[in-house]
């Protein structure tokens, strides 16, 4: 598919050209942004292309040719410009070395669409079809964006990812305003930015391992020790976490630590990035007994609701569904089921439900907690 006649895409592979392209953009402009990145063999996503769009102008910026972060920060990171993105979480993570705190003002079109009754997780392609009346080609979805030069099909596909963001932004902004949902949308965009900027990793990664919920506190603490090591090491080596230690092996090692280095070698065969140096580190990590301090610092893993908690979960789910219908919001946007499960088990108000969600949900849900 070729670019629309009204659009042009400038290929930018040096800092002067980028500065020149950005120079005419007002401080308070609404700028479309997208990225193409690769994440097959690395921990960190590799930025391969940055697309910008403003006022009918479109640019494809080559981050493999020069360092682009310094040019973007004044306008997008510090200024009053609105950065329009679709499903921005992975793009924000990819851009975090250049925009550590993300765009100052983010407008995520996928989140906005959910707030105005278009469903949860709608694709950019579907939004363009619905709001711009254009069917986009998706043939380059799994393309190799690190290759140079890019093909004509790749550049066309990449440019089209920002061509329609202005139209989508304008229509969704109007609908948000009509529904009085602009503040809620802005809050969720801020939440998305905060999550993407947390580069230190989850301090309590064991809480995602629901299968270990019935383990003893020392076993859960050892699992946390193991998972924190995996996260640190994967970052240092820039490899995917499962290449170093997959979840299944992490669980079995924490529950039944190896008695010798040779046993660890035997049990950890097939871990692609677990070399001899990492195996030695891992064995030394598993040997010491868990301290009282570690146990105290380890948040317990929430289990699946049982008995009265399970009944309360059903009542909460019904209440969320009812309120979502009244507000014309997807139930999963208002309160995902896994958040309800954690709340009913721990009885601690979930961080996800702070902000506008607390205002509409707290009294409803807290009154349904089991006695």
In tens, the pLDDT along 223-232 reads 999 999 999 9
- What class, spelled out in words, does domain 8-197 have in CATH? alpha beta
| Bond from prior residue into 329 cis (ω within 30 degrees of 0) | no
Q: Which residues of 323-347 are buried (b: 16+ CB within 10 A; e: fewer)?
A: bbeebebbbbbbbbeebbbbbbbee
- Provide the mean pLDDT of the chain: 94
Average pLDDT, integer, range 304-312: 94
Average pLDDT, integer, range 44-65: 96
Residue 370 backbone dihedrals phi, psi, to 5 degrees: -65, 145
The ranges assigned to domains in the chain are 8-197, 205-297, 307-366
Average pLDDT, integer, range 196-211: 89
According to the model, what pLDDT value does residue 230 have? 97
Query: How does pLDDT run across 109-163, given as a tens digit for each residue?
Result: 999 999 999 999 999 999 999 999 999 977 666 789 999 999 998 999 999 999 9
Please determine, for residue 7, whether its predicted confidence score (pLDDT) is greater than 50. no
According to the model, what pLDDT value does residue 118 have? 96
Residue with tokens 């009913």: 344
According to the model, what pLDDT value does residue 140 have? 67
Kindly give the pairing relationship between strand 82-85 and strand 30-38.
Answer: parallel
Q: How far is CA 278 from CA 181, 274, 281, 304, in A?
A: 50, 6, 5, 34
What is the pLDDT confidence band of residue 8, given thresholds at 50, 70 and 90?
low
Average pLDDT, integer, range 163-169: 97
Average pLDDT, integer, range 98-110: 95
Least confidently predicted of 4-8, 104-108, 341-345: 4-8
Write out the two tokens for 219. 């076993």
According to the model, what pLDDT value does residue 3 have? 47
CB 99 within 8 A of CB 197: no
Q: Quote the CA–CA distance of 53 and 34 in Å, as a whole number.
A: 9
Average pLDDT, integer, range 301-318: 95
Do the domains 8-197 and 205-297 sit in the same CATH topology, yes or no?
no
CATH homologous superfamily of 205-297 equals HRDC domain (1.10.150.80)
What is the torsion angle, in degrees rounded to the nearest 10, for the CA atoms of residue 70, residue 75, residue 80 and residue 85?
-90
Please determine, for residue 323, whether its predicted confidence score (pLDDT) is greater than 50. yes
Q: Quote the CA–CA distance of 70 and 99 in Å, as a whole number.
A: 9
**Could you give the strand order of the β-sheet that contains 30-38, starting from the edge strand earlier in sequence?**
8-12, 57-61, 46-54, 30-38, 82-85, 105-108
Please determine, for residue 2, whether its predicted confidence score (pLDDT) is greater than 70. no
Average pLDDT, integer, range 350-366: 97
Query: How does pLDDT run across 217-261, given as a tens digit for each residue?
Result: 999 999 999 999 999 999 999 999 999 999 999 999 999 999 999
According to the model, what pLDDT value does residue 5 have? 41
Q: How far is CA 133 from CA 113, 125, 164, in A?
A: 16, 10, 10
According to the model, what pLDDT value does residue 143 have? 86
What lies within 8 Å, CB to CB, of 330 at 6+ separation is 114, 119, 120, 324
Please determine, for residue 179, whether its predicted confidence score (pLDDT) is greater than 60. yes
Describe the crossing of helices 307-327 and 356-366 by its angle, rounded to 10 degrees: 140
Q: Quote the CA–CA distance of 366 and 349 in Å, as a whole number.
A: 9
What is the pLDDT confidence band of residue 1, given thresholds at 50, 70 and 90?
very low
pTM for the model:
0.92
What sections of the chain are H helices per DSSP?
15-23, 69-72, 89-95, 109-115, 124-132, 152-163, 165-179, 182-197, 217-237, 241-244, 247-255, 261-267, 276-286, 292-297, 307-327, 331-334, 337-346, 356-366
Please determine, for residue 6, whether its predicted confidence score (pLDDT) is greater than 50. no
């Amino acid at each position: 598919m070729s670019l629309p006649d009204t659009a042009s895409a400038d290929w930018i592979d040096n800092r002067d050209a980028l500065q020149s392209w950005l120079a005419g953009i007002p401080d308070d402009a609404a700028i479309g942004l997208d990225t193409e990145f690769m994440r097959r063999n690395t921990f960190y996503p590799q930025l391969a292309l940055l697309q910008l769009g403003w006022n009918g102008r479109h640019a494809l910026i080559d981050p493999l040719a020069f360092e682009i972060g310094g040019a973007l920060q004044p306008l997008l990171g510090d200024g009053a410009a609105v950065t329009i993105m679709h499903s921005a979480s992975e793009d924000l993570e990819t851009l975090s070395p250049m925009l550590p705190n993300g765009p100052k003002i983010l407008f995520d079109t996928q989140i906005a669409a959910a707030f105005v009754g278009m469903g949860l997780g709608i694709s950019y392609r579907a939004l363009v079809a619905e709001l711009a009346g254009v069917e986009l080609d998706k043939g380059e979805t799994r393309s190799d964006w690190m290759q140079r030069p890019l093909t004509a099909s790749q550049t066309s596909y990449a440019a089209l990812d920002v061509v329609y963001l202005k139209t989508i932004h304008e229509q969704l902004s109007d609908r948000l305003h009509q529904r009085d949902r602009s503040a809620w949308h802005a809050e969720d965009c801020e939440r998305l930015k905060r999550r993407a900027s947390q580069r230190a990793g989850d301090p309590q990664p064991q809480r995602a391992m629901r299968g270990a919920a019935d383990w003893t506190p020392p076993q859960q603490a050892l699992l946390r020790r193991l998972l924190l090591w995996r996260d640190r090491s994967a970052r240092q080596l820039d490899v995917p976490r499962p290449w170093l230690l997959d979840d299944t092996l992490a669980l079995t090692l924490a529950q039944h630590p190896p008695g010798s280095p040779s046993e660890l070698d035997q049990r950890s065969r097939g871990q692609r990035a677990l070399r001899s140096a990492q195996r030695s580190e891992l064995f030394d990590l598993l040997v010491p007994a868990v301290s009282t301090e570690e146990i105290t610092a380890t948040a317990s893993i929430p289990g699946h609701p049982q008995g009265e908690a399970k009944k309360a979960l059903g009542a909460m789910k019904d209440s969320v569904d009812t309120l979502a219908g009244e507000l014309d919001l997807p139930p999963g946007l208002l309160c995902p089921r896994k958040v309800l499960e954690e709340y009913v088990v721990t009885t601690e108000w979930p961080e996800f439900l702070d902000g506008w969600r607390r205002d509409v949900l707290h009294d409803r849900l807290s009154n349904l907690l089991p006695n």
